């Protein structure tokens, strides 16, 4: 008999498998260049006076790099 914990575990594993199915198709360089591009976009927005958007976009690079690192570390062990 499956418990709520077992159901949650299976659901989490299913979500992880979906994530890897999608990101396996994305080359590792895309995460890096996405981070670099968002830095340039953030700087450009700052220079044209869009300070709030600049801050928003400026928070994307670590996210892109962490997605790439997460996929590389966990994806290679599957």
pTM listed for this prediction: 0.68
Residue 54 structural domain: 4-75
Is 43 in contact with 51 (CB distance < 8 Å)?
Answer: no
pLDDT tens-digit series, residues 7-62 = 778 888 888 888 778 877 888 889 999 999 999 999 999 999 999 999 999 999 99
- Structurally, the chain folds into a number of domains equal to 1
pLDDT at 28: 80
User: Which residue in 41, 40, 17, 33 sits closest to 65, CA to CA?
Assistant: 33
Is 31 in contact with 68 (CB distance < 8 Å)?
Answer: yes
């Amino acid at each position: 008999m499956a418990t709520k914990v077992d159901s949650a575990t299976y659901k989490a594993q299913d979500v992880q498998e979906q994530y890897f199915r999608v990101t396996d198709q994305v080359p590792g360089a895309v995460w890096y260049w996405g981070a670099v591009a968002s830095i340039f976009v953030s700087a450009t927005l700052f220079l044209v006076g869009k300070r709030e958007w600049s801050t928003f976009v400026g928070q994307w690079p670590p996210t892109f790099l962490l997605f790439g690192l997460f996929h590389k570390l966990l994806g290679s062990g599957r």
